[in-house]
A = this chain, B = another copy of it.
Amino acid sequence: MKQEWKGTPMRKFAKILSGASALAVIVPSMALAQDAPTLESLAANDAFVFNTLLFLIGGFLVMWMAAGFAMLEAGFVRTKNVSMQCLKNISLYSVAGLMFWIVGYNLMYGGTPNFFGAWDFTGYEFAAEDVDTGYASYSDWFFQMVFCATTASIVSGTVAERIKFWPFIIFVVFLTGIIYPIVGSWEWGGGFLNSEGFANTFGAEFSDFAGSTLVHSTGGWAALIGALVLGARKGKYVDGKVHPIPGSNMPLATLGVFILWLGWFGFNGASQLAMGTIADADSIAKIFVNTNMAAVAGVIVAVVYTQLRYGKIDLTMALNGALAGLVAITAEPLTPSVPFALMIGGIGSLLACLTVPLLDKFKIDDVVGAIPVHLVAGIFGTLIVPLTNGDASFMAQLMGVLATAVFVSVVSGIIWFALKMTIGLRVSEEDEYVGLDQAEIGVPSYPEFVNS
């Protein structure tokens, strides 16, 4: 049946309508009514609905990534911290939504910050301005919000198993309300990385299609500084040796990666931001394929690399390889041909594989591998954009990466330190030993499984 449609649409209609004899006479006219598509735009109202639908579908897929991070992290921590990791993930998604509503969205897109300004208590305001943008405002807000939440999800994995709940949540308040929106505003909000002056100086505007830098590296820098300020988990680095701490639930982590992979079609695909022309639809389709193929290469490279390097395949690296491939392609999922998408994803994965032992060398304890995946692959993906996108410049990409690095590191460093100096960041040694579930939650993750 699949082939029929391409060549012989008549037969398909005939088949569909075979049971509706009364309609049979009109079938020929139906087929004739189908003109060939053109490159002209859809009618504005159709485009409005398609654009809105794209944001909503993309939005719920990215929202679903919050579950992916939760499962990935719940699988990678020890049983004694699993309930806490679940709590942190559902809480950070909630806080991100709240903060992006209160201040984040306006800070990112509003020109002048307009606290509490976009939505007031007066009720429904569907109106003419919605019409002119070509999409429903709320669908845009929803789609942007889930990106903000993703940034916070990245941090929670790195600092797991030793950070206290409330200081972590306070950091998320700043990250999602202030840090991410400011970085995002530089480019997506029409700020300096997107300005003519920047382009004149560095050869092009900064280019980051769906956020290898703006989302993933921002989360990555915040995570890295957090790990440095927090220090490693007890027992990870002892007497100059690295003691791997295995995650408690590999199928859960695998599920998390599949969820993230699925969600990424929304993350990258809906970042096309429009589906109201056939050119946009075609671009989204290409983005789907490139996104998938980057992850494909990420898995294969990690599997082969760990087999050759360690003699055994490391499942955790295969999983993180998929994610590193996805992060790497995120800066430009549209212009690469498939071979380039494979290369970009594969190299992103390889860099992540190489970064893991490097972090251990510096005793930076990244519980789930978020720094190799989101920061390192994110930087790589951003810098490689000019290879396939002729409108991008390496210098511009580098400047965007550096600006993000400096700003996020400094500001998140200040916040992490302020929290450490005031209410404290880290649980007590005893609490770390018994686990955060018992210390802060009181709900064990698997009360019947573990003999302790």
A295 within 8 A of B: yes
Indicate which residue in B36, B83, B119, B289 contacts A337 across the interface (CB closer than 8 Å): B119
A86 within 8 A of B: yes
Could you name 30 residue pairs across A and B whose Cβ atoms are closer than 8 Å?
Answer: A1-B271, A3-B190, A13-B279, A16-B124, A17-B279, A19-B123, A29-B40, A34-B276, A37-B44, A37-B131, A42-B49, A43-B46, A48-B278, A52-B282, A56-B288, A67-B259, A70-B254, A71-B251, A78-B448, A82-B251, A86-B250, A87-B303, A90-B254, A98-B296, A98-B300, A246-B444, A248-B447, A250-B446, A312-B440, A314-B443
Q: How far is the CB of A181 from chain B (nearest CB, A)?
A: 12
Chain A binding surface SS class: helix
A148 within 8 A of B: no
Indicate which residue in B19, B90, B340, B342 contacts A125 across the interface (CB closer than 8 Å): B19
A450 within 8 A of B: yes
A139 within 8 A of B: yes
Known contacts A87-B313, A288-B59, A313-B165; A131/B16 CB under 8 A:
no
In the complex the two chains form, what is the Cα distance from A194 to B2 in whole Å?
11
Number of A residues with CB within 8 Å of any CB on chain B: 179
In the complex the two chains form, what is the Cα distance from A123 to B17 in whole Å?
11
A222 within 8 A of B: no
Q: Which 3 A-B pairs have the closest CB atoms?
A: A19-B124, A67-B258, A136-B285
Tell which of A19, A207, A335 has the most Cβ of chain B within 10 Å: A19
Residue of B whose beta carbon sits closest to that of A253: B86
A355 within 8 A of B: no
**Is B449's CB under 8 angstroms from A446's CB?**
yes
In the complex the two chains form, what is the Cα distance from A89 to B388 in whole Å?
31
Q: Give the chain B neighbours of A121 by CB distance below 8 A.
A: 337, 339-340
A154 within 8 A of B: no
**Is B38's CB under 8 angstroms from A207's CB?**
no
A141 within 8 A of B: yes
Q: Give the chain B neighbours of A161 by CB distance below 8 A.
A: none
In the complex the two chains form, what is the Cα distance from A63 to B44 in whole Å?
32
Kindly identify, within residues 11 to 51 of chain A, every residue whose CB is under 8 Å from any CB belonging to chain B: 12-13, 15-20, 22-23, 26, 29-31, 33-50
